[in-house]
Amino acid sequence: MTPLLPLPLHVETLGLQPGPDVDTVLLIHGFGGSAFSWRYWAPRLAARAHVVLVDLKGSGSAPTPDDGQYAPADQAELIHELVRQRDLYRVTLVGHSLGGGIALITALRLMGAAEQRLHRLVVVAGAAYKQRLPPFAGFAKRARLSTMLFRLLGARFVIRRVLKWIVYDPSAIRESQVEGYSHPLRSRGTLRALIDSALSIIPPDIDELAARYPELDVPTLLLWGRHDQVVPLWVGERLAEEIPGARLEVLEACGHMPAEELPDESWDVLEGFLDEASGDP
């Protein structure tokens, strides 16, 4: 047997042991994030499923190879391979923001595979169509300037400003949250990888991918904040029209980070969806 090659991801697991009759929930963070983004949901999910927390290539504690392959399709291929290598079944893909776009691409690949591995899909404020880039993603494309400002101002200052812009209530941002997001960006390799991700953040074949969303015939939850300035609500509304049977839930007084801004309310929505999709009472 040919040995499996290590993947440039950082993976942690929680909860139940995997098996053919055990649900697996695979959590995919967004641009500039890490598994830290799921700190409120992951322990709750662990009580009911095998939970796989991924730091995407170039993010968090994952390797940062200087190969330029940080497009959403590159990341989706790695997630697909992770599912295959670990022989995971009954998989619920959960993706936030850029991770939502990666989850959509991964879901399409899993749907096209011979093995029936995909069970459910959850897209949280997920990138799915052509749209205007948020300022922080567009700014990251200016590699020299953004690198200089990160070094001059410090990662904590930059991340604090970004977080306050993308949430509904800036006063709710905590220093522990700023530290959780800024710590990995003190690494030169992670900062370079972030810039590489920004350079290819919108897939060149986005229209072709979007045309395939109606193929996703698994239970699908779309979760959005009413006041999302990063991936606006119209994206979720359009996905709800194009993915068969998709359920769109909108949280009031919420911006781009439902799982963090409203951890209890967003969990109630997710738990209700998982129970309904599993046939649990």
Has residue 232 been placed in a domain?
A: yes
Length of the chain in residues, anyone? 281
Query: How many folded domains does the chain comprise?
Result: 1
pLDDT of residue 133: 80
* pTM over 0.85, yes/no: yes
Has residue 159 been placed in a domain?
A: no
Torsion of CA 189, 191, 197, 198, to 10 degrees: -150
Average pLDDT, the chain: 92
Residue scoring higher pLDDT (1 or 195): 195
CA distance 43 to 56: 20
Q: Could you tell me the residue range of the domain that residue 212 belongs to?
A: 10-132+205-278
H-helix segments, the chain: 42-45, 72-85, 98-112, 135-140, 143-153, 155-166, 175-182, 188-199, 206-210, 233-242, 258-261, 263-278
Span 3-28, mean pLDDT? Answer: 91
Span 51-64, mean pLDDT? Answer: 97
CA distance 250 to 44: 21
Has residue 226 been placed in a domain?
A: yes
Give the Å distances, CA to CA, from 198 to 68, 91, 270: 11, 28, 29
Has residue 115 been placed in a domain?
A: yes
Has residue 116 been placed in a domain?
A: yes
CA distance 11 to 263: 23
At 12, is the secondary structure helix, strand, or coil? Answer: strand
149-162 pLDDT per residue, tens: 777 778 899 899 99
Has residue 3 been placed in a domain?
A: no
Q: Please report which helix (H) or strand (E) contains residue 245, including its range.
A: none
Beta bridge partners of 15: 50
CB count, 10 Å around CB of 135? Answer: 12
Span 139-151, mean pLDDT? Answer: 69
CATH number, domain with residue 256 = 3.40.50.1820
Has residue 250 been placed in a domain?
A: yes
Q: Are 29 and 96 in contact (CB under 8 A)?
A: yes
Q: Are 52 and 11 in contact (CB under 8 A)?
A: yes
CA distance 96 to 38: 10
Name the residue among 276, 257, 278 with its Cα closest to residue 266.
257
CA distance 278 to 119: 10
pLDDT of residue 136: 65
Has residue 181 been placed in a domain?
A: no
Q: Are 49 and 24 in contact (CB under 8 A)?
A: yes
Answer yes or no: is pLDDT of 1 > 50: no
Span 74-88, mean pLDDT? Answer: 96
18-38 pLDDT per residue, tens: 988 999 999 999 999 999 999
Beta bridge partners of 26: 52, 93
